[in-house]
Structures are given as C-alpha cells and as structure tokens.
Amino acid sequence: MRVAPRRHFGVRGHDFVLERDGVATPVQLRAGEIHYFRVPEVHWEDRLLRMRAMGLNTVSTYVAWNFHEQAEGVFDFSSERHNLTKFIQLADRLGMLVVLRPGPYICAEWDFGGLPAWMLKHTLRENMKFRTADPQYLGFVDRFWSKLFPQVRPLLVENGGPVAMVQLENEYGHFGNASGAEKAYFDRMEQIARRHLGPNVLLISTDSARHNAAGLGTTHSLLAATNLGPWFHAEAHAPEALSLTATHNRGGPQLIMELWSGWFQTWEKNGFTEKHFREHGANLVEYVDFFLKRNASFTLYMAHGGTNFGFWNAATGLSETQEGLLNSSFITSSYDYSAPISEEGRHGFGGDGIDKYAALRNLMARYRKPWEPPLAPEPAPPRLANYSGDGPGGAVVLRRRVPLHDPAVLAALCDWQAESSDGPTPMEFHGQQAGLAFYRYRPVQNMSSAAAGAGTALLRVSEETRGNFLAKEQQGRAWLKLKVRDRVTVWSADQLLQQAEPVTIYGKRAKLGPYKISVPMGMRHKNADHLDILVEHLGRRAFTKRRTSNLDPESYEDWKGMTEAWLGGDKLVGGWQYCALPLADLYAVNGSVPEPSVKRGLGEAAGPSFFEGRFLVGDEPADTFLRFDAGAWRTGTAFLNGFNLGRYMREARGPFDLYAPKSALRRGENVVVLLEMNPPANMTLAGAAVTFKAHRGPMLP
C-alpha cells in the first residue's frame, strides 16, 4: 500500500517551509488576494490562472461570515459564490497554496466587516459586545466556525490540501488591545480554531507595523503580519515596517499580509480614496521588487478585486466634514481596487499609465528561483461584448415603469408584520440583512387627547404642539422627525412628501440626529389615513476604531431602518407595520416586475420606481458593462434577469456603470430592471435608456 507523504507548513528560523517526509523546502509566499464571494463562480478558474501567470504561488481570501449565515442559524456553503471548498480545491488543482482569513471580523469594505447583521439585534437588545470575549458573541463565532472549519480541515497542507495558514481577526489594533484588555478574546478564538483545525496549523494575525510592535493587534502565540501601502519610497519605508513587526515576532519570517495594490472607491468625493485608487503603478512595482529582493513573503491586496454584487458594499468609517459633523460615505459596487487584474479580468493600470499586471509579471519572472518552472502562459484576454436594443444607437429603452409604492406591487413583494407597540424597529430586528425597509403608520389613540380628537387627518397634531411650532415655523407647518439610516422616502397615503435623500449625516460625537422634513400640519386629501416611510440600507460600516468618549456609542451599532418617528411634539408609537424588501434578487418574480394596480406612463408617477426593458442575446453570452450615461438615471439598483448587479449613483466618484457577468445573461430575451430611487420628473423615452458595452464608461471627475 502506498503511504501518503507527511506534509507540514510552518516556520523554521526566518523562513516559511513546506515539509514533505521530513524534508523542508523554504517557501517565499508570493500571494494575491481574491475573494470568492466577489467573483462569479464561472470566472474563478480564469482569475486564478491569471494570478498564477503573473507569478503568484499563493491565493489569499477572506471568509465573509454574513455571506454564509445571512439568517441566524441558517448556513449556505453550496449556492452560487458560496462553495468555499470548491474554490480552495480549484486553487490546489492549479498548484497554489491558500491563506484563509475567516475573521470573524474581516473589514474588506464588505457590509459590517463580514459580521452578520442579525447580531445587531442581540447588541441592541441584550448589550452583546461584538469583537470581544463576550460569551454570547463567542458562542456565535464558535457555531459558525463549527460549520466552516470541518470543511477546511481536510484541505490543510498536513492533510494533503493547499491551506497553509489561517488568520484570526483583522487589524484589531484599530479597535482594541489584543495583548491587554481583549487578550481573552484572542485566546478563546485560538482555542476554538485549534479545536476544529488541530494543533499544527499555523495561525497568524495582521495589522499595521506599529500596532504589531505594541501588541495591540496580535498575541505572542500568533505570527504577526504587516499591512501597508506603497505610498512612499520602499527602501525608506518598508524596512522600518518589517523591523517593527519583527520585534513582536522575535525574528521569524517576514510577511506583508496586505500590500495595497490600489484602493476602493466611494460615492462621495474623498481626496484620500481617489488619490490611492489612482496610485502610480511604479510605486507598487518598486515595493514588490524590494520584497522579492529580500525574500520577504507578501500578498497583493488585491490581485483581483471583483464586485460588490447586490447590497454587500460597506460604508466607510466616520469622517469629519467642514461643518464639524461626521458622516459615512458608501463603497461603490465596483471593487476593481485598481488591482493588477481589473474587475472584468483585463490588465489593470496605475494612475501613471503603467500596466500593473505586465510590469509585475516581468518583475517576478526575473526573480524566479532556479528550481522553479517558467511562469505559466497568460490566458487569452477575457471576452466582452456589446449588446443592442431597439432604441437610438442600439440603446435598450426601459419602457415599462411601475412605482414601488403601487398597492399591487407592495402586495406582491410585502409580507406585512406588526411592529412593536413602542414604535418602529430597525430591519435587523426583523431578520433582514440588507435592502429596503418599508414602514406604514396608521394613527391610533397614542397621541395627546387634543391630537386624538382633532379629526382623522393623519398630519394633524395637538394644539399645544401647534402653538410651540407656530413660533418657530411658518404658519401651518410642522416637523416630521425620523431617526433613520440611510436613505429615506416619505408618502402620506399616495402623496409623495419627500424624495430619497442620499446619505446619513451624523452630528458631533457621531450622534445620529433626527432626519427632519417640514410637512403641512392640516394636510387633508383623499385617503390620507396612513404615513409610509421607505428606508434604504446603503451599507454598514466595515471599519470602526476603538470605542472612545469622542464618539457616541450608537455609532458602533450601525443598524439600518428606523427607530423613532415624531410629528411635531408627539412620538408616533403604536400603529406601525413593517414590510421587508430585501430585493437580494428578483428570481421569485421571474426577473420581472409585478403588475401594478394602475398602468402608468414613464412620466406619470413620482417616487422610487421600477423601470423594465428587454433585449436579445444571439450567441453564447459574454461579460459586458451596463452603462447609465445614455439616460437620465440618478441613483438606484440594477437587476439583470433577476440577478442583482449592485447600485449605481450619478454623483459617485467612480464609474457610472455596473459590471454584468456572462452568468447573469442568457441566449434569447433578457430582462433588465432598474429600481430608480429618485427618477426625474417627466421621464422620457430618451431618458429611460441604458446601453450594454464591452468597455466601461469614463470615470466621473
């Protein structure tokens, strides 16, 4: 009987080594980060082949907890983009090692840093503290890892697989102190990981070099790796960073876990973000050359960025505005990252015009070890296509308009739930991960006696409240105050009061103040018996700094939806209903939009509306870009045959288009649907056009 060779990946002196039957071979990890959950499964092999051809020998990936456990206690490791085992086995088949980064927190510019949204219910109701040694939180971590790690263990190097290292947590020094107050958290994570993975797997952490030296983001039982950007001169910057981390590791191999190859993009103007997205390719090449020369292991973050399909994009950390307020911006659906392999699989370029992919491939070929084979040939360029509709210039015209607020549409999409008698609650209390939250309020006997007896008009308040506001506001108007995140639309019955507002603004100390709109106090019109409030989740913050007295505690608990509503001086409590509109896809309605109660023309309705059009694909589908610059679109979400491509926004500091993978298209008739949140008045056929092009549109200035 043939005995399988004994294998182990570990550390010997200053080297990583791969041992086979007692023979240790030094290994320099030349890794590239790619997230299986951001790449259509049909392209997994293509992107890994491109990474290998660039000269990389290792794949690094996060594991997004909330992607696998969207509903509490319900796990998915098999559907599209969820089969982690298949992804790891594919890397193994291509001869690449794997670094697995299962969090539980990952940042990654991914909604809530990969933590499940349902956790906020336990935080708000039971004061559970995430990313700490809180027993309830660690119980949830253990439950998730008990589902994940049994799939990973057979794929460890020691068991014949490619998984060489497992990272615990992520950049913890920004949030807490792993060697101090939260050492118990790290100790417990390590215990859970080793219980499931065995005693021999190499466990690591990663953080900034200064956090590593101070022990803030790691413990002495973990090998600390370093994160840094190629933003200075490598010879002056990198040695200091490596030296600081080495003081924690007491020697050991040098590992840059994240060498940022570019940066993410946001909806709002952000000088830091825009500068580093357009970072010079020459800078990245200089740093990689430095690490290759010193035989230091490194990971390009990202080698291929991919896409935040659906509603998985994050919000950024809180940043101060010129007015002294704090706000979150939101990450774009494109996670191209200006990486060496672009979102669609082509070569990525730096702001200096340098082809990052070609330059890095040439560089790594120069540093090939004598015993290593030549670099694998680069795959053929990816195939992208233009697709035409029957509109001017081949545009696809979205002729069908269906208001989201139409009663028949809400009846088809909504499963109404009674709200708490204390008032509205956020979407997480309803088990909703993302999308839109729809609240309906019908008046009950919960206001002052004067207000209750003032008639049936919804927006009528007590005489006392009326007196208070008349001194401050124009005659006959009052404030409707809502505590909401992130984007809100308001109707009184079928009358639109407020179009969608784009972002959440925080007051000083990051305290979420009320969102206010001025409304008629005595508004009366047909059927004005209820108030409808639509709140759109735009992304939970992925990156948060440690809790301090400078920030309001609520800023860490990034719930979405609504928690309070006031009309004048009266708090609206009982009488609320809730409808979850996750809109993760439109498969349940065959990729189309439900029939409305009243058919309307393109310019006949106001407020968030679905627009639908159709086009033909004659051959085998290819990737393409859905572009919005031909129409009057402002901001919303796009669906292709029911698949949620992501969000678009005209004012975004990035591409005004969405990557559409071939897996979302089909031969024959295809259906494109936009949920436009703020459609212009009097929409025309010309304004209701989109195009499908093989190249993305220009970046907005």
* pLDDT number for residue 499: 82
Compute the distance between CA of residue 21 and CA of residue 328 in angstroms, rounded to an integer. 53
Contact partners, residue 640, CB within 8 Å, separation at least 6: 591, 626, 660, 664, 665, 670, 671, 672, 673
Would you call 258 a catalytic residue per the annotation? yes
Bond before 102 cis per omega within 30 degrees = no
Distance between CA atoms of residues 82 and 36, nearest Å: 8
Backbone angles phi and psi of 344, in degrees to 5: -95, 5
Residue 2: is its pLDDT beyond 60? no
| Mean pLDDT taken over the chain | 88
Homologous superfamily of 407-444+472-581? Galactose-binding domain-like (2.60.120.260)
Active site residue 378: no
Tell me phi and psi for residue 432, to 5 degrees: -100, 125
pLDDT tens digit string along 506-518? 555 556 666 777 7
Contact 571, 423 (CB under 8 A): yes
Contacts of 492 (CB under 8 A, 6+ apart): 458, 459, 519, 523, 525, 528, 530, 531, 532
Which of 109, 258, 501, 612 is labelled catalytic? 258
Beta bridge partners of 578: 417, 439
- Please give the Cα distance from 187 to 392 (Å, whole number): 63
Q: If you write DSSP's letter for every residue of 646-689 in order, what string do you get? A: EEEETT-SSBSEEEE-GGG--SEEEEEEEEESSPPTT--TTTTE
Superfamily of domain 27-115+163-179+201-367: Glycosidases (3.20.20.80)
Render 321-376 in DSSP notation, one character per residue: -TTS-EE--BB-SB--TT-SB-TTSSB-B-TTS-BHHHHHHHHHHHT--TTSPPPP
The answer to whether 29 and 299 have CB atoms below 8 angstroms apart is yes
What's the predicted TM-score (pTM) here?
0.94
Alpha-carbon gap, residue 151 to 137, rounded angstroms: 22
Predicted pLDDT at 472: 39
Q: Tell me the two tokens of residue 413.
A: 């999409």
* Helices and strands counted in the chain (H then E): 14, 33
- pLDDT tens figures, 316-370: 876 655 555 566 789 999 999 999 999 999 999 999 999 999 999 999 999 998 8
Report the distance separating Cα 9 and Cα 225, nearest Å.
16
| Mean pLDDT (whole number) for 271-291 | 90
- The tokens for 645 are 């491509």
Give the homologous superfamily in CATH for domain 392-403+596-693. Galactose-binding domain-like (2.60.120.260)
User: In 3-state terms, what secondary structure has residue 173?
Assistant: helix
Tokens standing for 187? Answer: 């100790």
Instruction: Give the model confidence (pLDDT) of 516-559 as tens digits.
Output: 777 765 543 344 678 999 999 999 999 877 766 566 777 778 99
* 547-595 residue pLDDT tens: 665 667 777 789 999 999 988 778 888 889 999 999 999 999 999 999 9
Report pLDDT digits (tens) over 445-465.
444 333 333 333 444 434 443
pLDDT value of residue 448 = 38
- pLDDT at 508 (0 to 100): 54
Instruction: Cite the residue boundaries of each domain of the chain with CATH code 2.60.120.260.
Output: 392-403+596-693, 407-444+472-581
What pLDDT score was predicted for residue 189? 98
DSSP state for residue 466 in the 8-state scheme:
H
pLDDT at position 324, please? 56
Where are the domain boundaries for CATH 3.20.20.80 in the chain? 27-115+163-179+201-367
Instruction: Tell whether the model's pLDDT for residue 249 goes beyond 80.
Output: yes
pLDDT (0 to 100) of residue 51: 98
Question: Among residues 33, 109, 158, 171, which one is catalytic?
Answer: 171
Separation of alpha carbons 270 and 275, rounded Å: 9
- Contact (CB, 8 A) for 419 and 439: yes
- The whole-number pLDDT of residue 551 equals 67
User: Are 430 and 559 spatial neighbours (Cβ–Cβ below 8 Å)?
Assistant: no
Q: Per-residue pLDDT tens for 77-111?
A: 999 999 999 999 999 999 999 999 999 999 999 99
531 phi and psi angles, rounded to 5 deg: -115, 130
